[in-house]
Amino acid sequence: MLQMDLALLRIVETLPVLKIEKNSDGQIITIRLIGRMRSEHLPELRKQLERPHFVLDLDEVTLVDVAVVRFLNVCEQEGVELLHCPRYVREWMRREHSAENKIETVVIH
Protein backbone atom coordinates (compact mmCIF):
# COMPACT_ATOMS: atom_id res chain seq x y z
CA MET A 1 0.00 0.00 0.00
CA LEU A 2 2.77 2.46 0.91
CA GLN A 3 4.61 1.69 -2.34
CA MET A 4 1.46 2.41 -4.34
CA ASP A 5 0.98 5.73 -2.47
CA LEU A 6 4.58 6.73 -3.19
CA ALA A 7 4.21 5.80 -6.86
CA LEU A 8 1.03 7.88 -7.11
CA LEU A 9 2.77 10.81 -5.41
CA ARG A 10 5.61 10.64 -7.96
CA ILE A 11 3.11 10.69 -10.81
CA VAL A 12 1.25 13.67 -9.35
CA GLU A 13 4.51 15.57 -8.81
CA THR A 14 5.40 15.20 -12.50
CA LEU A 15 2.06 16.50 -13.80
CA PRO A 16 1.97 20.07 -15.07
CA VAL A 17 0.79 22.25 -12.24
CA LEU A 18 0.30 25.56 -13.99
CA LYS A 19 -2.05 26.48 -16.78
CA ILE A 20 -1.62 29.77 -18.65
CA GLU A 21 -4.57 31.26 -20.54
CA LYS A 22 -4.46 34.45 -22.61
CA ASN A 23 -7.39 36.69 -23.46
CA SER A 24 -7.39 40.05 -25.21
CA ASP A 25 -9.90 42.85 -25.51
CA GLY A 26 -7.96 44.32 -28.44
CA GLN A 27 -5.86 46.62 -26.26
CA ILE A 28 -4.89 44.75 -23.11
CA ILE A 29 -3.85 41.11 -22.86
CA THR A 30 -4.96 39.32 -19.71
CA ILE A 31 -2.73 36.42 -18.78
CA ARG A 32 -4.65 34.16 -16.43
CA LEU A 33 -2.62 31.80 -14.26
CA ILE A 34 -4.28 28.67 -12.89
CA GLY A 35 -2.83 26.21 -10.39
CA ARG A 36 0.50 25.92 -8.61
CA MET A 37 3.16 28.29 -9.88
CA ARG A 38 6.80 27.47 -9.21
CA SER A 39 10.16 28.85 -10.24
CA GLU A 40 10.47 26.41 -13.14
CA HIS A 41 7.42 28.07 -14.75
CA LEU A 42 9.02 31.53 -14.84
CA PRO A 43 10.93 31.15 -18.14
CA GLU A 44 7.72 30.27 -20.00
CA LEU A 45 5.79 33.02 -18.27
CA ARG A 46 8.49 35.57 -19.16
CA LYS A 47 8.05 34.59 -22.82
CA GLN A 48 4.32 35.25 -22.52
CA LEU A 49 5.02 38.67 -20.96
CA GLU A 50 7.11 39.97 -23.84
CA ARG A 51 4.01 41.61 -25.31
CA PRO A 52 3.02 45.16 -24.38
CA HIS A 53 -0.05 46.08 -22.33
CA PHE A 54 -0.84 43.03 -20.26
CA VAL A 55 -2.18 42.21 -16.81
CA LEU A 56 -1.76 39.07 -14.73
CA ASP A 57 -4.90 37.49 -13.30
CA LEU A 58 -3.96 35.40 -10.26
CA ASP A 59 -7.50 34.48 -9.20
CA GLU A 60 -6.95 30.73 -9.56
CA VAL A 61 -3.34 30.53 -8.41
CA THR A 62 -3.27 28.07 -5.53
CA LEU A 63 0.39 27.93 -4.53
CA VAL A 64 3.59 29.87 -5.25
CA ASP A 65 7.22 29.67 -4.17
CA VAL A 66 9.59 32.45 -3.13
CA ALA A 67 11.01 32.91 -6.65
CA VAL A 68 7.50 33.53 -7.96
CA VAL A 69 6.81 36.03 -5.16
CA ARG A 70 9.98 37.95 -6.06
CA PHE A 71 9.04 37.80 -9.75
CA LEU A 72 5.58 39.21 -9.01
CA ASN A 73 7.16 42.05 -7.00
CA VAL A 74 9.35 42.93 -9.99
CA CYS A 75 6.37 42.77 -12.33
CA GLU A 76 4.41 45.14 -10.11
CA GLN A 77 7.37 47.52 -9.79
CA GLU A 78 7.52 47.61 -13.59
CA GLY A 79 3.86 48.61 -13.78
CA VAL A 80 2.19 45.25 -14.39
CA GLU A 81 -1.27 45.09 -12.84
CA LEU A 82 -1.90 42.00 -10.69
CA LEU A 83 -5.59 41.14 -10.71
CA HIS A 84 -7.22 39.02 -8.00
CA CYS A 85 -3.95 38.41 -6.16
CA PRO A 86 -4.60 35.94 -3.30
CA ARG A 87 -4.26 37.52 0.12
CA TYR A 88 -1.47 35.19 1.23
CA VAL A 89 0.53 35.95 -1.94
CA ARG A 90 0.04 39.71 -1.46
CA GLU A 91 1.22 39.48 2.16
CA TRP A 92 4.24 37.38 1.17
CA MET A 93 5.08 39.90 -1.55
CA ARG A 94 4.91 42.72 1.01
CA ARG A 95 7.19 40.87 3.43
CA GLU A 96 9.64 39.92 0.70
CA HIS A 97 9.74 43.53 -0.53
CA SER A 98 10.36 44.77 3.02
CA ALA A 99 13.14 42.23 3.51
CA GLU A 100 14.80 43.28 0.23
CA ASN A 101 14.62 46.94 1.23
CA LYS A 102 16.25 46.17 4.61
CA ILE A 103 19.09 44.35 2.85
CA GLU A 104 19.59 47.28 0.45
CA THR A 105 19.61 49.74 3.36
CA VAL A 106 22.27 47.74 5.18
CA VAL A 107 24.43 47.53 2.04
CA ILE A 108 24.15 51.28 1.44
CA HIS A 109 25.33 52.23 4.95
Neighbouring residues of 83: CB distance < 8 A, sequence distance ≥ 6: 30, 55, 56, 57, 58, 59
- The amino acid at residue 62 is T
How do residues 45-74 score in pLDDT, each as one tens digit?
998 888 778 999 999 999 999 999 999 999
Most confident of 27-31, 41-45, 82-86, 104-108: 82-86
pLDDT at position 71 is: 96
Higher local confidence (pLDDT), 103 or 100:
100
**Span 17-108: which CATH code?**
3.30.750.24
Domain ranges for the chain, please list them. 17-108
The beta strand positions in 40-108, using DSSP E, are 54-64, 81-83
